[in-house]
Each structure stands twice: as structure tokens, then as C-alpha cells.
Amino acid sequence: MQSSSISYQSNGHLLIIGPEDLAHLTAGQIRGTRSITLLAHGAISNQDESHLEQALASAQTSAGNLQVIHTPLVSLKGWLGQFELLVRDQQQNTPFNPAKALIGQLHFDLVLDLSDEPVIPSELAPAGYFHVAAGSHELQAVIPQLGELQGEFEKPAYIAVNSSICAHADRGQTGCTRCLDVCPADAISSHNNTPTHDFAIAVNTALCHGAGSCTTACPTGALAFVTPQPQSQLSQLRQLVDTYRQQGGERPALLIHAHQSPPELEQLPDFILPLALEEAAGVGIEIWMSLLAAGCTFVAIQLTDEMPNSLRQLLQKEVALAGQLLTALGHPAQRIQTVEDQQLASRLPELDQHLSNWHNLPASDPFEWEGKRGTLNAALERLFEQGEALEAAIALPSGAPYGQVLLNTDACTLCMSCVALCPTGALRGNSNEQPRLAFLEADCVQCGLCERSCPERAISLEARFTPAPGERLHERVLKEEQPFHCISCGKPFGSHSTITGIMKKLQHHSYFQGEAAKRLQMCEDCRVRDSYRELAADPEAQLRL
């Protein structure tokens, strides 16, 4: 089981990166670090002689052991206590790590980056890394922190990975990349088809800030918070809405916001129930829809200027997609909405008035948490019952995690490669007694693993949403055949399409010529027995393979 926390160990060795004059001036203000190493990176900011003299004088008064590196920067990566610096040996033209020679350990503990552009460009920087302008007020706030970051520090291990339902990759094929595309901390990596990893997605817990964008973007629930777990979070939110109503509250609506950006509560209408999360993207569409099914008029997600741009874009994209699903179900798209923090006081009452026909809806019968996709399907079914849904499916943008699999039945051989790779069970087969390929649209996340794994290129995807649960939740057969029967014992195995396809592909193989070609029409047991009979009659037959 994954630990609920991780620790950082810092010995206080600071690396400053930036123009040498600015780095010297800054180093002279820092106290409390074990050592300071300057990596000259970028042009001197001011060539004035008095300025340069001041920079040198400042460096001489700086605390700790001050050392300067003038070799070119190759790379910097890591986190508090584990920053790995590589610079270029200009004589050998090879990268090397100078930390061991300079400070007696392999990693720097802290980094102050004074460069114009950050050396580590993540939207959410690693712990222990500070990118600030040399003359800014922010620098004066950071400098005191540098001397305090020594010792052992802990933080939660926010995200856990359930590789069994991950739709990213399998057997060398790449499918869904939604979590990789949205992580603002660059904490998620792919380990597709490598001998050292038995899963496709890995979360570097040391880099993870718990922004939650990956859990919101993940269509299967393979990425989820360690705590609070989504099932307990949904239960608590339902209880919040129920308690509000039991105490006489009317037309409840929910406002989701980051705990570091709380709204001014006195400016919020009484019917708004605020929910503080680590980040506003910490819950996704399955929670939003479940809250509407629980009787909320609307769910609003607060956007702020401080929010990483990737989180803002993700929320806007997911909310727009949720709006399309709601419209198809016969609900106003505005029942799930993003709102800028400076517009809360005016926008929330406007939403409430616009959605007056959806005030005080009776809460649907409670439904159990059935994983992310199962819970979403249950919520959509309740919302279908409340609205006047469209009769036909609606088209969705390519890449949306809802839709159907289209099958070229003439090309399909029922080999079941697609079934073997489908992470959600949306594609399913059955026993050899009745070869068939079936599909459940409600479980399809459009990851594309089936399409990429099909040897006959018989599969394509169509992003869409079918509002009627009877069609979306009903398994339908895409192709079905009578089984092929072994020509020796009569045992059913495979399908006619599979056996015909194999015979065509192997018709020129030396092992399957003449009478031996009949083995392709035998079950595995009879094929082995026939091979042994041939070897018993002609021992040199194996030499002719």
C-alpha cells in the first residue's frame, strides 16, 4: 500500500543560477545556509564599474563557503535535497556533475534561479526551487526561507495509481495521454513497455503538488487522491447537501475553490455551499454530476489569476464537455460552470436566477460509489430521468472520453486482441463455443488501444454521447460467428474468420505445406499429436523446418 506521506532531507547547500553580478549581490544577503555555489548563467546585467565592485564586495561578505562555476549549464532536475546539476566540461565536451567536488554530496539541496527564464519551467515548481527576479519584492520574501530549509520535511503523497484500469498504454501500444498533458508540475511520466516497470503511468510523488488535474482528466479513475478518497469525498458532499436541506436551506448550490484562494464568504449568497480543496481541479465530472443528481441547482468552480494556466484550461475544457452532456440530457449547460473569483458576487446570483426552474429538485435515490466511470454513469442515468433528453446521440470533439467503437466486420477475424488490451472492459468476448465481440458504450473512454492493437485495422473510434441509458448501458454485439471445429476431434476452437486468416497468412510457410497445412485447422491438442506422429514416422522432419 502506498505511504500517505513522503519526506525530504535537506543539508542546506544552496545553488544560485543567474548572471554573475546579480548572483553575487543576492548571495551577500543570504544567511543560514551550509554553502552557496554560484553558477554564472546569462550575461552580466550591468557593466558599470561601481556596480561590479559592489557585487564582488557583497560576495565576500556572504555567509558560508562561496564557490563560482563558469562552465555552461546542461540540465537541472530534482527537488528539495535532490537537485542534480549537470554542466559541460568544455575540454572534454561532456556533461558532468560538479556537486561532489564542490560540496561533498551528489546533489544540491536548494536552488535560487535568477535567470530571465526558469531553468525548470514547470508551472508548479519543485519544492526547494525558487525562480525570482533579482530586484523584485518576491526575492526579499524568498531570501529568509533559504536559511530555514535545512533538516527533514514531510508532505502528503497525494496521488495513487491503479495500473489495472489505466488506459495509457499496454504491450507497446500507447492510448490515453490525458494526465500527461495536464500535469502542471511535470510529475507524471510514461513507462510504456520497459522491463523495469509493470505499469504505464508513474507519479513522482516528490514533484507532485496535489493539483488534482490528473484525477480530473483521467477517464477511468486510475489516478485518484490517496486521501480523501473519492468515494468518501462524494459521501461527505452528499451529507453536506442533505444537512443543509434538513436545516431548512433551499436551492443549494456548490462553489468549489482552492483553499489558498477562499472567496469572501460575506459576499456569497446564502444558498452557496463552499468547498475548499487543495486545488479547484481536485474533483471532476463524476462528482459534479453526482451533486446535481443530489439536488444542487448548479456546481460552480472558481478560477483565479494565481491558478496555473494548465489547470484553468483543463477546467474550462472539462466544464464545456460537461455542458454538452447536460444539454443532451435536457438540462441547461450552465448547471456546471466556471466563474472568475472577481465575478462571484454578481455571477452566482445570476446563475441561480437563470436556473430557477431547477431549484429544489428532489435528490435522486443514493447510489454507491462504483469507481469513477460507474459513478458517472449512475449520475447520468438519474439526470436523464429528470430532464427531457435528446433522442439521438450527439457528436463530441475528438479525444473526448465518451463514444463508440466502429467495427469493419468484413475485416475483423475475432482474434480478440482488442479485448485483451481494453482497460475498462468496454470490449468483451466470450468462450470458443460462440465466438463474438461485444461492446458496452458506457464504459468506453476512447483511449484508442483497441484501434492501435487491431492487426486487421478493423477498428475506428467515434467520439459521441448517447443520452439514453438503455442504449449506452446495453451491451451490443459487434460481430458473432459460429465456432470453427477441429477437423480431427471436432472440438470447437477459434472462429472461422480467425482460422481462415491464419491459413492465408501462413500458406507459404515451410512448416505448413502439404498435409501439414491441415494442422492449422486442428485444435492445440490435435496439432501437437499430429506433429509427434510425423516425427515418429520421419525423425529427420524437424531438420527440414
Which residue from 466, 458, 526, 530 is spatially nearest to 497, judged by alpha carbons?
Answer: 458
The pLDDT tens digits for 84-119 are 999 998 788 899 999 999 999 999 999 999 998 999
Task: Report H helices in 220-356.
Answer: 230-246, 285-293, 309-328, 344-354
CB burial of residue 164 (10 Å; 0-12, 13-18, 19+)? exposed
In tens digits, the chain (545 residues) has pLDDT values of 445 789 999 999 999 999 988 888 888 889 899 999 999 998 776 666 665 666 666 666 554 468 889 999 999 999 999 999 999 987 888 999 999 999 999 999 999 999 989 999 999 999 999 999 877 889 999 999 999 999 999 999 999 999 999 999 988 889 999 999 999 999 999 986 555 545 689 999 999 999 999 999 999 999 999 988 899 999 999 999 999 999 999 999 999 999 999 998 888 999 999 999 989 999 999 999 999 999 999 999 999 999 999 999 999 999 999 999 999 999 999 999 999 999 999 999 999 999 999 999 888 888 889 999 999 999 999 999 999 999 999 999 999 999 999 999 999 989 899 999 999 999 998 755 678 999 999 999 999 999 999 999 999 999 999 999 989 999 999 999 888 888 889 888 877 777 887 888 888 887 777 777 888 888 888 988 888 887 777 776 555 54
Say yes or no: 326 and 403 in one domain.
no
The pLDDT tens digits for 297-349 are 999 999 999 999 999 999 999 999 999 999 999 999 999 999 999 999 999 99
Say yes or no: 312 and 377 in one domain.
yes
Asked whether 32 and 57 are in contact (CB, 8 A), the reply is no
Q: Which of 225, 248, 280 is the last residue of a domain?
A: 225
**Count of structural domains, the chain:** 5
Say yes or no: 165 and 139 in one domain.
no
Say yes or no: 259 and 238 in one domain.
yes
The backbone region for 497, taken as left when phi is positive above 0, alpha when psi lies in -120 to 50, beta otherwise, is alpha
The pLDDT tens digits for 112-167 are 999 989 999 999 999 999 999 877 889 999 999 999 999 999 999 999 999 999 99
Which residue from 203, 195, 208 is spatially nearest to 168, judged by alpha carbons?
Answer: 203
Say yes or no: 343 and 278 in one domain.
yes
Grid cell 444537512 is found at 243
Say yes or no: 255 and 344 in one domain.
yes
Say yes or no: 278 and 341 in one domain.
yes
Say yes or no: 252 and 370 in one domain.
yes
- Residue 347 in domain: yes
**pTM score, whole prediction:** 0.85
Say yes or no: 331 and 464 in one domain.
no
Q: Which of 386, 409, 424 is the last residue of a domain?
A: 386
Say yes or no: 382 and 234 in one domain.
yes
Asked whether 109 and 127 are in contact (CB, 8 A), the reply is no
Any idea what the CATH number is for the domain that residue 136 is in? 3.50.50
- Residue 1 in domain: no
Alpha carbons 76 and 63: distance in angstroms, whole number: 24
Alpha carbons 252 and 410: distance in angstroms, whole number: 53
Any idea what the CATH number is for the domain that residue 442 is in? 3.30.70.3270
- Residue 429 in domain: yes
Q: Which of 225, 248, 267 is the last residue of a domain?
A: 225
- Residue 405 in domain: yes
Cis preceding linkage at 228, omega within 30: yes
Asked whether 432 and 367 are in contact (CB, 8 A), the reply is no
List the grid coordinates of 89: 566540461
What does each C-alpha distance from 76 to 9, 16, 98 come to in angstroms? 18, 12, 12
Say yes or no: 238 and 339 in one domain.
yes
Say yes or no: 201 and 265 in one domain.
no
Residue 515 structural domain: 486-491+498-544
Asked whether 73 and 119 are in contact (CB, 8 A), the reply is yes
Any idea what the CATH number is for the domain that residue 198 is in? 3.30.70.20
Q: Strand pairing of 403-407 and 459-465? A: antiparallel
